[in-house]
Structure 1
Amino acid sequence: MKARWDIVLLPPLALSVLLLLASQIIFLKGSLHRDLGMGQFDPAVGLHNFIEIFTDSYFVQSLGLSIGVSAMATVLTLLIAFPVAYVIARTDGRLSIVLLSAVVVSSFITIVIKVLGLMMIFSSNGPVNGALMALGLIERPITIIGTLPGVVLGLMYYTLGFAILLFYSVIVTVPRSLEEAAQVHGASRWQVFRQVVLPLCLPGVAAGGLMIFNVSMGGFSSTALIGAGKVLTLPVVIQRTVLLETNYGLGAALAVLLLTVVIVINGCSVALLARARRGMLV
Structure 2
Amino acid sequence: MWVRWWILLIPPLIVGFTLVAASQIVFLRASFFEDLGLGRVGDELIIGNYVQFLTDGFYLKILWVTVKTSALAALSTLILGFPVAYLIARMRSSWSMILLAGIVVATFITIVIKVYGLIVIFSADGLFNRTMLAIGLFDKPFSVFGNETGVVIGLMHFTLGFGVLLLYSIIQTIPKSLESAAQIHGANRWRVYYRIIFPLSLPGVTAMLLMVFNMCMGAFTSAALLGGGLVFTLPVMIQRIVMMDIKYSMGATIAAVLLVSVIVINLLSIYLLRRLRAAHLVIV
Q: Please state which band the TM-score falls in when normalised by the shorter chain.
A: over 0.9
Cα distance per residue 1:209-232 (max 9 Å; x no partner): 000110111111000000101011
From the superposition, tell whether residues 205 and 2 of structure 1 become closer, same or farther in structure 2 (CA, over 3 Å): farther
| CA apart distance, 1:136 | 2.4
Q: In structure 1, give the amino acid aligned to 2:199.
A: P
Which residue does 2:128 correspond to in 1? 128
The residue type paired with residue 274 of structure 2 is A
1:88-124 CA-partner distances (Å, limit 9, x unpaired): 1001111101110110110121000000001000011
| Stretches of structure 1 lacking an aligned partner (at least 5 in a row) | none
Give the C-alpha shift of residue 135 in structure 1.
1.3
| Partner of residue 113, structure 1 | 113
**What's the C-alpha RMSD, in Å, of the aligned pairs?**
2.0
For the residues of structure 2 that align with 1:37 and 1:62, how far apart are their CA atoms?
Answer: 23
Matched, 1:263 2:258: no
Distance across 1 between alignment mates of 2:98 and 2:2: 33
Deviates more, 1:44-53 or 1:272-281: 272-281
What are the equivalent positions in structure 2 for 1:51-130 lying under 5 Å apart? 51-130=51-130
SS at match of 1:36: strand
The range that moved more, 64-73 or 130-139, is 130-139
Q: Which moved more, 1:41-50 or 1:129-138?
A: 129-138
Aligned to 1:240: 240
Q: 1:110 to 1:185 in 2, by over 3 A?
A: same
Measure how far apart 1:177 and its partner are.
1.2
| Higher alpha-carbon deviation: 127-136 or 215-224 | 127-136
Relative to structure 1, is the Cα distance of residues 144 and 171 closer, same or farther in structure 2, using a 3 angstrom cutoff? same
The alpha-carbon deviation at position 137 of structure 1 amounts to 2.6
What is the Cα deviation at residue 14 of structure 1?
4.5
Q: Superposed, which structure 2 residues align to 1:171-186 within 5 Å?
A: 171-186=171-186
Change in CA separation of 1:49 and 1:216 when aligned onto 2, cut-off 3 Å = same
Counterpart residue identity of residue 126, structure 1: G
1:126 Cα shift? 0.8
Give the C-alpha shift of residue 2 in structure 1.
9.0
State whether structure 2 residue 270 is matched by structure 1 residue 275: no
8 Å contact 1:123–1:129 — kept in the other structure?
Answer: yes
The answer to whether the Cα contact below 8 Å between 1:122 and 1:143 also exists between their aligned partners in 2 is yes
Q: Which runs of no fewer than 5 residues in structure 2 stay unpaired?
A: none
Structure 1 counterpart of 2:224: 224
Q: CA deviation at 1:13?
A: 4.6
TM-score normalised according to structure 2 size: 0.94
Corresponding residue for 1:190? 190
Contact 1:78 1:163 in 2 (8 A): yes
Q: 1:124 to 1:39 in 2, by over 3 A?
A: same
Hey, what does 2:149 align to over in structure 1? 149
Preserved contact between residue 49 and residue 250 of structure 1 (Cα < 8 Å) = yes
- Paired-residue identity, %: 49
Equivalent runs, 1:201-220 vs 2, <5 Å:
201-220=201-220
1:109-149 Cα deviation digits (max 9, x unpaired): 10000000010000111101111121123333221100111
Query: Aligned in 2, Cα 1:18/1:161: closer, same or farther, shift over 3 Å?
Result: same
| Separation of aligned partners in 1, 2:199 and 2:8 | 33
Structure 1 residue 83: Cα displacement: 1.1
Q: Which residue of 2 aligns with 1:42?
A: 42
Q: TM-score, normalised by structure 1?
A: 0.94
* More deviation, 183-192/200-209: 183-192
User: What is the CA–CA distance in structure 2 between the aligned matches of 1:207 and 1:102, rounded to whole Å?
Assistant: 23
Going from structure 1 to structure 2, the CA distance change for 1:203 and 1:3 (only over 3 Å counts) comes to farther
Cα 1:246–1:205 shift into 2, 3 Å: same
SS at match of 1:154: helix
Structure 1 stretches (4+) deviating beyond 4 angstroms?
Answer: 1-16
**Aligned residue pairs: how many?**
282
Distance between the aligned counterparts of 2:86 and 2:151, measured in 1? 27
Counterpart contact for 1:24–1:256, Cα < 8 Å: no
Say yes or no: does 1:168 pair with 2:160: no
CA–CA separation in structure 2 for the residues paired with 1:3 and 1:128: 58
In 2, the alpha carbon distance for the partners of 1:6 and 1:197 equals: 36
Q: Give the superposition deviation at 1:5.
A: 7.6
1:35 Cα deviation from its structure 2 partner = 1.4
Q: What do the CA deviations read for 1:59-88 (whole angstroms, capped 9, x no partner)?
A: 111101111111111111111111110011
